[in-house]
């Protein structure tokens, strides 16, 4: 039996019955929306860490503090010792574990009992929301989501076909090294104690400012609630570090990024285009500051520049190829409305496949049994949700 997602979306075998897809077409990029939906400032619900073995723990052990990186740093340092977490299917399990803990009052911080019960419209990772909101300006990469609707909440996970997962894990050496530069920058920019440089315990001769060898299993994540238009959204995402002391909220979170040094107008235009993703990724989690490390193609750090997230749209406004954040918010709102109108289910067990194609738009299709089985991946799940979560939700 062929897996449903291996087939071409247009020429599907007759044996695989699916409803014809509903569609949302691409937005007009030349008109600022008249009434863009407001985006509420995110407030943090809880945090969690992943250990060096990628075990989920409800503590802040993986939290890192910002430290100025040394100029001229070699971002290729330690490449051969990189402990790289393999790319996996983007399951929601950790987020759902966190949400369940929060809802049951099992964590410190804002208590759900103090406020009205939260009716959550959307629950997903920050990376998914970034993909959705930046879609109007995405010219190259398509993406696919699995979507379930249970008791009024939409759950969104990225759908990675086996082929795409393999492609992500078999990165070209050059691309793999460039990816590493980003993580090495994180190491140079962070310490485990505020205002203090870590000693490097892994090697005796680490360069100045090195914050320790890169293990991408380790992550510190924040779960926030926010609102786009009328819809309450719970988002989880990784936070690179905190500036100064951590005070239990997102106020001094810092996003770290690397980019090639800007040597002329075309580099500048390319960078300004990238700023859209930096901007959206950051505001979705309430991250107010983005520190960009500019580097040479060889991986040598040249300069660092700090950006205030809220100021970024102003930097690109009126420039050639400028983007408009209001178009993204408006599109995001339309996207969610489209899900509301399209993704129907009697039992909550259905899984829909949402496909975004650059410059075309979005389609949504109800998966058949084979498709759902593929999404479950032989695990104990209802659709793509872990069974324990389902049982908790649907007693």
Summarize as ranges the residues that interact with ligand A3P (CB under 6 A): 179, 182-183, 185, 240, 257-258
Least CB distance from residue 139 to ligand A3P, whole Å? Answer: 15
Question: Rule CB under 5 A: is residue 274 a binding residue for Mg ion?
Answer: no
First vs last C-alpha separation in the chain: 34
Whether 277 and 313 have beta carbons less than 8 Å apart is answered as no
Q: Could you tell me if 309 and 294 are in contact, meaning their C-beta atoms sit under 8 angstroms apart?
A: no
* DSSP state for residue 311 in the 8-state scheme: G
Give the shortest CB-171-to-ligand A3P separation in angstroms: 8
How near is the Cβ of 65 to ligand A3P at its closest, in Å? Answer: 16
Q: Which does 331 bind (CB under 5 to 8 A by kind): ligand A3P, Mg ion, none?
A: none
Question: What are the helix and strand counts (H, E) for the chain?
Answer: 9, 18
- DSSP letter assigned to residue 193: B
* Residue 183 site contact among Mg ion, ligand A3P, none (CB < 5 to 8 Å, cut-off depends on kind): ligand A3P
When CB distances to ligand A3P are compared, the closest residue is 182
Q: Closer to ligand A3P at the Cβ: 72 or 152?
A: 72
Smaller CB separation from ligand A3P, 156 or 367: 156
Return d(Cα 371, Cα 3) in angstroms, integer.
6
C-alpha dihedral sign at 14, 16, 19, 24: negative
In the complex with Mg ion, which residue's Cβ is closer, 234 or 285? 285
Q: Which of 120, 256, 292, 312 binds Mg ion (CB under 5 A)?
A: 256
Distance CA 239, CA 241 (A): 6
Cβ at position 322, least distance to Mg ion in Å: 23
Distance of CA 273 to the CA centre of its chain: 18
Helix extents (H) in the chain? 93-103, 126-134, 162-169, 173-189, 265-284, 312-316, 325-342, 369-376, 387-393
Shortest distance (Å) from residue 303 CB to ligand A3P: 14
**Which of 112/182 has CB closer to ligand A3P?**
182
Sheet holding 361-366, edge to edge: 22-25, 361-366, 352-357, 143-150, 153-158, 122-125, 231-238, 219-228, 43-50, 56-57
Tokens in use for 351? 């899984």
Interacting stretch for Mg ion, rule CB under 5 A, among 38-46, 86-94, 256-264, 365-373? 256-264
Residue 185 touches which member of Mg ion, ligand A3P, none, C-beta under 5-8 Å by kind = ligand A3P
Nearer to ligand A3P, 24 or 224 (CB): 224
CA distances from 347 to 151, 152, 286 (A): 9, 12, 35
Q: Which stretch binds Mg ion (CB under 5 A): 165-173, 230-238, 260-268, 291-299?
A: 230-238
| Closest CB 373 distance from ligand A3P, rounded Å | 28
374 binds, among ligand A3P, Mg ion, none (CB under 5 to 8 A by kind): none
- Report how far residue 130's alpha carbon sits from residue 53's, in angstroms, rounded to the nearest whole number: 27
CB 39 within 8 A of CB 283: yes
Task: Give the one residue of 74, 158, 240, 333 binding Mg ion; rule: CB under 5 A.
Answer: 240
Name which of Mg ion, ligand A3P, none residue 110 binds, using a CB cut-off of 5 to 8 Å depending on partner kind. Answer: none
Q: Which is nearer to ligand A3P, 46 or 241 (CB)?
A: 241
Query: 226 or 258, CB closer to ligand A3P?
Result: 258
CB of 255 to Mg ion, least distance (A): 5
Check if the beta carbon of residue 212 is closer than 8 Å to that of residue 202: yes
- Closest distance to Mg ion from the beta carbon of 62 (Å): 11
Residue 282 contact among ligand A3P, Mg ion, none, beta carbon within 5 to 8 Å by kind: none
CA distances from 201 to 77, 198, 206, 210, 354 (A): 15, 9, 9, 11, 46
- Quote the least distance from Cβ 222 to Mg ion, whole Å: 11
Q: Out of 93, 238, 267, 373, name the contact with Mg ion by CB under 5 A.
A: 238
Interface contacts to Mg ion, rule CB under 5 A: 238, 240, 256
């Amino acid at each position: 039996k062929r897996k449903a997602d291996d087939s071409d979306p247009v020429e599907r075998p007759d044996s695989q019955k699916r409803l014809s897809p509903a569609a949302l077409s691409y937005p007009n990029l030349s008109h600022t929306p008249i009434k863009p939906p407001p985006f509420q400032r995110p407030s943090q619900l809880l945090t969690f860490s992943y250990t060096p073995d990628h075990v989920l723990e409800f503590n802040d052990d993986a939290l890192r503090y910002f430290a100025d990186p040394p100029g001229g740093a070699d971002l290729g340092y330690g490449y051969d010792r990189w402990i790289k977490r393999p790319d996996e299917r983007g399951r929601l399990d950790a987020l759902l574990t966190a949400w369940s803990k929060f809802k049951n009052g099992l964590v410190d911080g804002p208590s759900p009992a103090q406020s009205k019960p939260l009716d959550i419209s959307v629950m997903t990772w920050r990376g998914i929301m970034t993909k959705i909101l930046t879609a109007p300006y995405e010219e190259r990469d398509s993406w696919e989501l699995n979507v379930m609707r249970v008791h009024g909440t939409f759950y969104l996970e990225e759908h990675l076909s086996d082929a795409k997962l393999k492609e992500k894990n078999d990165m070209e050496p050059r691309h793999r090294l460039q990816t590493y530069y980003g993580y090495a920058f994180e190491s140079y920019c962070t310490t485990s104690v505020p205002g203090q440089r870590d000693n490097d315990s892994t090697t005796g001769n680490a360069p100045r400012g090195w914050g320790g060898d890169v293990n991408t299993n380790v992550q510190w994540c924040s779960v926030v609630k926010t609102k786009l238009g009328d819809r309450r959204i719970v988002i989880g995402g990784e936070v690179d570090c905190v500036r100064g002391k951590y005070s239990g909220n997102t106020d001094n979170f810092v996003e770290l990024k690397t980019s090639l040094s800007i040597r002329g107008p075309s580099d500048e235009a390319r960078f300004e285009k990238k700023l859209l993703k930096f901007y959206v990724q950051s505001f979705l989690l309430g991250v107010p500051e983005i520190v960009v490390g500019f580097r040479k193609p060889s991986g040598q750090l040249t300069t660092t520049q700090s950006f205030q997230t809220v100021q970024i749209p102003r930097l690109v406004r009126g420039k050639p190829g400028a983007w408009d954040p209001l178009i993204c918010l408006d599109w995001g709102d339309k996207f969610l409305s489209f899900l509301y109108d399209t993704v129907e289910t009697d039992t909550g067990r259905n899984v829909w496949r949402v496909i975004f194609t650059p410059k075309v738009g979005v389609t949504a299709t109800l998966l058949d049994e084979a498709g759902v089985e593929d999404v479950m991946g032989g695990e104990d799940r209802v659709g793509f949700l872990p069974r324990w979560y389902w049982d908790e939700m649907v007693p």
